[in-house]
Amino acid sequence: MKNKIYINVCLLLLVSSNILFACNNSRGRAENSKPNLTKEISSPKIKNEKIGKVTFYLENSESMFGYINGITDYVDVVSELSEKPEFVIEKTTRDFYFVNGVKPTLTPIGTDPSVLKNKLNPAGFRCGDITKSNLNAMFQVALQNAKDDNISILISDGIYDIGGQGLTSLVTEGTETRSEFIKRLRIGNLQTIMIKLNSQFNGNYFFASKAGKILIKSSRPYYVWIFGDSKLLNKYFSNQYISMKLKGYEIVARFMNPGSSAIQYQATSENLVGTFGFDRKENNCLVNAKGDRLGLGFQFAIAVDYSTLPFPESYFSTLTNYSITNNYSIVSIEKPTRKIHTVSFAPTHLITVQTKKSPYGELLISLLNITPSWIAKTNSDTEANIQTDKAHTYGLKYLSEGIIEAYESISKDQNIANFKIIIR
């Protein structure tokens, strides 16, 4: 009897192993038979939402020497970025390059931040073609290397080297900047962070609008551009980190594909004036809407989740950053003070809207993509008062307009987010 049971068990195990082997072989054949789509589809290779590599490009034309003449805020910022705590903890690969010249000329510094920091002085900067710079070529190199889980950081004074050719050449350079960004944006997701900083400057300022140079011992603005996937940049370079950790920080702007982030929203009965019911199939369709009996109009709130957007709180709470249709107006934008049980997600803001007219129809609220006003205010079309001007950058508007127009040209929707509510 025992022998019979033993034989049956053995047979059962043998059959099971054959079935398992067959299943494994079948799965292997199915996987091997899948077509290779990597050549036709470009998809981001971001693992665990971690940065794989950071490539630093530091302009080292002679116009930058004044920023590294001594212990300056510029030197401190480069040191902070190169040894960002997350990079150290995660052992992130970092490549450092000096960049100058027309083509441009790239001088590799290696992967060790301490080696880079030892070169942040006039002697260390003196390599490559220090007599020339090509900002558009720098953008091209930095943008090409900002893909998948790799990001690029470019540090420059943001001044086009136009050889004294005047404003006409600035317009030409600006359109070339636009082209470089369009080419990169067509490949895939890209966010650009543009940070304006100020640092001590002791050296020669080389005129862009005419020949010659002038000695300046004062403070001067410069810029850090960070390029990469939006999820990575939002995670590693929050506005709080940028403003708190980068010495000489003044202000920041972010450029991204409008509408690229999926923003959750839902109509609610919060701050309600009047009455309505929810459609059984669609939460963002209100039915049987009626205004208040005392003539106070019709009012309700829309819960939204802005947690995926990297803008400061002031951007979300500024009423002029929104458009609204159908005779409605925005009464307030505030953070929820309690849990809203009818909402299936965790909202970050409540947008309360109101109308004193007929409430019916399609209501569309849009968070607009507003260009930061500081960019235009920082621009200067003259270098006449450069010795005393500590705030402006020659030709910056042409550079920034090129970037802005590039993002606008590749986006079907110019708004950051749209919220549509049907009221019946």
pLDDT (tens digit per residue) in 147-179: 999 999 999 999 999 987 878 899 999 999 999
DSSP conformational letter for 96: E
* Residue type at 234 in one-letter notation: N
Reduced to 3 states, what is the DSSP secondary structure of residue 213? strand
Alpha helix stretches (DSSP H) within 227-344: 230-236, 239-245, 313-317
The angle subtended at Cα 215 by Cα 212 and Cα 219, nearest 5°, is 125
Q: Quick one: CA dihedral 281, 282, 283, 289, positive or negative?
A: negative
- pLDDT score recorded for residue 44: 47
- pLDDT score recorded for residue 5: 40
Cis peptide before 104 (omega within 30 of 0): yes
- pLDDT score recorded for residue 260: 63
- pLDDT score recorded for residue 399: 95
Please give the Cα distance from 405 to 135 (Å, whole number). Answer: 17
Give the up-direction half-sphere exposure of residue 82: CA atoms within 13 A in the CB hemisphere: 24
Query: Residue 325: phi, psi to the nearest 5?
Result: -115, 180
- pLDDT score recorded for residue 17: 41
- pLDDT score recorded for residue 331: 97
Please give the Cα distance from 315 to 369 (Å, whole number). Answer: 10
Partners of residue 137 on adjacent β-strands: none
- pLDDT score recorded for residue 277: 96
Please give the Cα distance from 37 to 39 (Å, whole number). Answer: 5
In order along its 424 residues, the chain shows pLDDT tens digits of: 444 444 443 434 443 444 333 333 332 323 333 323 223 223 345 556 899 999 999 999 999 999 999 999 999 999 999 999 999 999 999 999 999 999 999 999 999 999 999 999 999 999 999 999 999 999 999 999 999 999 999 999 999 999 878 788 999 999 999 999 999 999 888 999 999 999 999 999 999 999 999 999 999 999 999 999 999 999 999 999 999 999 999 999 999 887 667 899 999 999 999 999 999 999 899 999 999 999 899 999 999 999 989 998 999 999 999 999 999 999 999 999 999 989 999 999 999 999 999 999 999 999 998 888 999 999 999 999 999 999 999 999 999 999 999 998 887 778 999 999 999 9
DSSP, residue by residue, 367-401: E--PPPHHHHHHEES--TTTTT--S-EETHHHHHH
User: What are the boundaries of each domain within the chain?
Assistant: 53-258+370-409, 265-368
The H or E element that residue 272 is part of is strand 265-273
Any residues with CB less than 8 A from the CB of 76 and at least 6 apart, and which?
247, 248
| Per-residue pLDDT tens over the stretch 299-336 | 999 999 999 899 989 999 999 999 999 999 999 999 99
The H or E element that residue 220 is part of is strand 213-228
- pLDDT score recorded for residue 164: 79
- pLDDT score recorded for residue 47: 57
Q: Which of 197, 182, 261 is nearest to 229 (CA)?
A: 261
Provide the whole-model pTM.
Answer: 0.84
Cβ neighbours, 10 Å, residue 323: 13
Please give the Cα distance from 103 to 110 (Å, whole number). Answer: 21
Q: Residue 116, Cα to own-chain centre: how many angstroms?
A: 26
Q: Calculate the alpha carbon distances from 215 to 65, 130, 201, 282 in Å.
A: 11, 17, 10, 67
- pLDDT score recorded for residue 371: 86
